[in-house]
Structure 1
Amino acid sequence: MSSTPSSITDKKQAILDSALSLFVEKGFNATSTASIAKAAGVATGTLFHHFPTKNDIMNQLFLSIKQEFANNMVSNIELCGDIEKDANNLWQKAIDWAIAQPLKQLFFLQYSMSADIDAAVRKQAMTSILGFVVDLIEQGKQHGVIADFPSELLLENCHGQYLAAIRFFTDNPQLGSDEQHRSASFKLFWHAMKAQ
């Protein structure tokens, strides 16, 4: 009896979901592939069929969560062409996602800068999946609204500012819906990005 495409997808997703929980709870190095397979309810051989190494699981998990994050940011949003307003709208949606997805945003906090994720995978996530952010930065530079620094450096700065903000809201969940703190988080970010 052969597996149906949906059961293959379900097993693969179960592996990723289990890995997410275990990587956040125990750390990458302390999590074995056997423990991931057990938590996912699949045989170890099934895990290796989908992911030859633990690093492959980490890289796929990082890309899939980053894609979900990006999809959420651009869904149901109207960009008006005002760079600062558009950046603020995207920023607030990103903060909303982090608050709504605590396990996934903890994963980002732990692993976004980690050597456990291949540099090529991190670059793919930043420049392809988050290409709309790159486009916004380029538009801002062309209009003299965003500082004329190298785009890759500006993108890394965006990422660092976002991680700092979600760390703050993770540590202070009661402030996640406080308009003053939400607004301040964007102003701090924008101050670092805007042309002087």
Structure 2
Amino acid sequence: MTSRALENKPATNKRQAILDTALNLFVTQGFHGSSTAQIARQAGVATGTLFHHFSSKEMLLNELFLSIKQEFAEDILQVFQGLDLDTHPQRSLKASAQKLWNRAIDWAIANPIKQRFFLLYALSPELAVDVREQAMNSILGFISKLLTQGQAMGEIVTFPLGLMLDNCHGQYLASIRFFTDYPALGQDPLHREASFELFWRSIKA
């Protein structure tokens, strides 16, 4: 490891410690119930260090949302890349979408705290609109590609893409809310299949 990497490592660790602590506090105490002083103290850093990395608590929330959304996207992107829809356009779009859906549900079940964070803040007024747009259009841009391809193939309704993306997101949040309330059903094939069918019927042509 280079000397520059060694110099950067502590700052990276502090930043991640702040994000991890904020995640737990925002989920357990709420955004307004968690002060920056408390976050810094539990993260083991000075309050000034927190503000060095995040200019405000709102900025901390935004960055936390984006970092978790990036982690989520990287996980399900592995499935999307394996579908190779450009090379195999004849492959069932519905079957491909179902693989992505199941991977997304699996991620939520495997990451309960981050899942609860999404449920609490994905539609929260505390989260900046441009942050939501960045998460959906940049980080999750491959979802837009899948929808656009489905529309071109006549398998998905040709409604405005932005509205479609928000609808897909809402369907996903509704499903993980249900599986959060009834965790055993998250592994039940009947309920898992039904959750996807509800989603698919809302967007199919």
Displacement of 1:85 in angstroms is 1.1
2:83 aligned with 1:73: no
Equivalent residue letter for 1:79: L
Correspondence for 1:59 among 51, 59, 62: 62
1:85 is matched with 95
Displacement of 1:76 in angstroms is 4.9
The aligned length equals: 194
Q: Secondary structure at the match of 2:187?
A: coil
2:36 aligned with 1:33: yes
1:142 is matched with 152
Q: Secondary structure at the match of 2:83?
A: coil
The percentage of aligned residue pairs carrying the same residue is: 56
2:89 is matched with none
Question: What is the CA–CA distance in structure 2 between the aligned matches of 1:186 and 1:53, rounded to whole Å?
Answer: 38
**Alpha-carbon displacement from aligned partner over 1:138-181 (angstroms, at most 9, x marks no partner):** 00000000011001111000000000000000000011111111
Question: What is the CA–CA distance in structure 2 between the aligned matches of 1:160 and 1:52, rounded to whole Å?
Answer: 30
Conserved? CA contact 1:80–1:86, under 8 Å: no
Displacement of 1:80 in angstroms is 5.2
2:197 is matched with 187
Conserved? CA contact 2:79–2:100, under 8 Å: no
Question: What is the CA–CA distance in structure 1 between the aligned matches of 2:139 and 2:119, rounded to whole Å?
Answer: 18
Conserved? CA contact 2:62–2:131, under 8 Å: yes
Question: What is the CA–CA distance in structure 1 between the aligned matches of 2:133 and 2:109, rounded to whole Å?
Answer: 25
Listed as ranges, the matches of 1:10-29 within 5 Å are 10-29=13-32
1:152 is matched with 162
Supply the RMSD in Å over aligned alpha carbons: 1.3
Equivalent residue letter for 2:201: H
Question: What is the CA–CA distance in structure 1 between the aligned matches of 2:109 and 2:58, rounded to whole Å?
Answer: 27
List alignment gaps of at least 5 residues for structure 1: none
Correspondence for 1:161 among 171, 184, 198: 171
1:111 is matched with 121
Question: What is the CA–CA distance in structure 2 between the aligned matches of 1:72 and 1:170, rounded to whole Å?
Answer: 20
Conserved? CA contact 2:18–2:40, under 8 Å: yes
Segments of 4+ in structure 1 off by > 6 A?
A: none
